[in-house]
Amino acid sequence: MKTNKVGLLVAGCFVVMSSSVDARYKSQTLKKGSSQVITHASKDYIAFEYKILTAKDCQKFFNNKNIIKKGFQPVQITFINNSDKAISISPEGFDFEVVPAQKIADSLHRNGMKRGVGLGVASLAAGWVTLVPALVQGCGAKEFNVDMDNDFANKQLKNQVVLPGKTVTGVVFANKNSFERDFTFTVQDQDKNLVLSTYQPSLHMQNVAPVQVS
């Protein structure tokens, strides 16, 4: 009888620890660069690299592999400003619909009440061993969601001015229905639009023929 109690105690501790870990938001930092390689003879150029993220990448960088299944295609963008000009970039510069990162995070939020009640009901059948994990899962959902919101906000590609010699990276979330693997990315040099694309990912700044902003 005593052995059974010790066994239950050990099992309970293991389940609590496992549930505590599962309740935390875990993700890795984005790495600059991608599968694309930029080479340019000129030292005065702007360019971008891109990587279309897979479900495995989403699990690694956003702690969730279901982003694509929900209708959103994450694309990591790395912008290189190897010129002497300040270049403005924006998620609105792509020729596909970009969904705000917060909307993606909202669709992935954990429901603390639902998870807690579900595990709580299960604990009635399984005994006290699963009762504490139910409470951990329920109470941890709010912290998990806040961490997710912050992570998505930090990793999304932002409206920004990229100074000369700087490289920035971030993720845009495309509406999967409007996304094509070949796309354009329009950036701005003061009052001029400069169009990059998957076919022409770099531009020599001295010879470029920019499009005037209307």
| DSSP element (H, E) containing 47 | strand 45-52
For residue range 151-189, list pLDDT tens digits in order.
999 999 999 999 999 999 999 999 999 999 999 999 999
pLDDT given at position 38 = 56
Position 141 scores a pLDDT of 87
Domains of the chain, by residue range, sit at 42-212
Give the start-end residues of each E strand in 103-175.
Answer: 160-162, 167-175
Give 172's contacts (C-beta < 8 A, 6+ positions apart).
74, 75, 77, 91, 94, 98, 156, 157
Q: What is the pLDDT of residue 3?
A: 54
> pTM for the whole thing?
0.74
Q: Which residues pair with 172 in a beta bridge?
A: 75
pLDDT at 92 over 50: yes
pLDDT mean across residues, the chain: 80
